[in-house]
Amino acid sequence: MTKTELLFIRASKSLDPYKRVRSVYHRFYGRYDEQTTTLSLVNILSGIVEKYNPPSIISVMDALSPQNRVYYGCPDVSHYDVCLQFFINRLRYTDLVDLPGYNYPVSFRR
């Protein structure tokens, strides 16, 4: 597991994952317009999800179905925003035990 993959996984598990994942992207890849950032994040997170927690085809088709866009906000969101939310949720609700090579952050000592 690379360090950037580790940071994207930690960002997906934070309290505001959408904002934090974008912050990690901006820090390592630069600031671009909203559409380019979303497309790049879908590409990056799909690789991480495929490598560490591959979903079944049925769950992908169900999550990305146009009828289920209401679950990801308003029904007129773009397809790539729905994909991004799907990949973030997939990483967010994965147990850390299931991620091989995950390094836990150092906790502070008194």
User: What pLDDT shows up at residue 74?
Assistant: 67
Question: Is the predicted pLDDT of residue 108 greater than 70, yes or no?
Answer: no
Q: What is the mean pLDDT of residues 36-65?
A: 89
pTM: 0.84
User: Per-residue pLDDT averaged across 22-50, rounded?
Assistant: 93
Please compute the mean of the pLDDT values over residues 20-36 and round it to a whole number.
94
Average pLDDT, whole number, for the chain?
Answer: 86
Question: 45 pLDDT exceeds 90?
Answer: yes
The pair of structure tokens assigned to 70 is 């209401």
Query: In this structure, which long-range contacts are made by residues 50-59, counting pairs with CB atoms below 8 Å and at least 24 apart in sequence?
Result: 51/5, 52/1, 52/9, 52/94, 52/98, 52/99, 52/100, 53/90, 53/91, 53/94, 53/98, 53/99, 55/90
